[in-house]
Amino acid sequence: MSKKLIAEVIGTFILVFFGTCAIVYMGTDIGKLGIGMAFGLGVVAAAYGIGSISGAHLNPAVSIGMVTAGRMSVGDFIGYVMAQVIGAILAIIVIKIMGTPDGGLGATTVGATGTTAAFIFEAVATFLFVTVILGATASNGGAGALAGLAIGLTLVVIHLAGINVSGSSVNPARSLAPAIFLGGDALAQMWLYIIAPLAGGAVAGVLHAAGITRAG
């Protein structure tokens, strides 16, 4: 496994481990704001920790956006997705070994607003998330050293806006890992958490490549 892929494994582990621990161990104490902060700051930590190695995608939807934006090859995309899924699964395995109060693993499932709302939210939120990432990390007009912070705070906002709608995944790897172990609704609904984020990320990349959301 290349250095970049190892970095993606570690980075995705950071995101999923911190975020899931916040849900299963601290959720009742820190609430939705705390959970959103855990996921967002997890991204910030990974971005500054391994971003210089792999770009810290941590998310197949981000990687597909990089492909459609012309900033990543299909071959690299496949490797990144495999690394991201491995990192997410390893994080869930560690949490399972630790044990959780109710056996939960922070799975994402459709909220009371229903499947259509969850699908739309995941697609739109991922589109916005990847648009921010592509803009913040652009060589022309990007956010430079503040990119990781901007990206992490965007993920916080996404969680605050959509936890009750879809669980605020915007990341197929993050949703797949707990679903594999829990089965049930989490696994049955995985199609939504794969298709919607990938579609949103891909469209964000297309618009960036076309210059619509790109500076210059």
Two tokens at 27?
A: 């959720």
- CB 38 within 8 Å of CB 10: no
Domains defined along the chain, listed by start: 3-209 (1.20.1080.10)
Q: What is the CA radius of gyration of the chain?
A: 16
- pLDDT, one tens digit per residue, over 125-176 is 999 999 999 999 998 888 899 999 999 999 999 999 999 999 999 999 999 9
In this structure, is the dihedral angle defined by the CA atoms of residues 199, 42, 187 and 157, taken in order, positive or negative? Answer: negative
Q: Which residues contact 13 (CB under 8 A, 6 or more apart)?
A: 87, 88, 90, 91
Write the DSSP assignment of 6-52 as a string of letters. Answer: HHHHHHHHHHHHHHHHHHHHHHHHHHHHHHHHHHHHHHHHHHHHHHH
The answer on pLDDT for 216 being more than 80 is no
Rounded to two decimals, the pTM is: 0.97
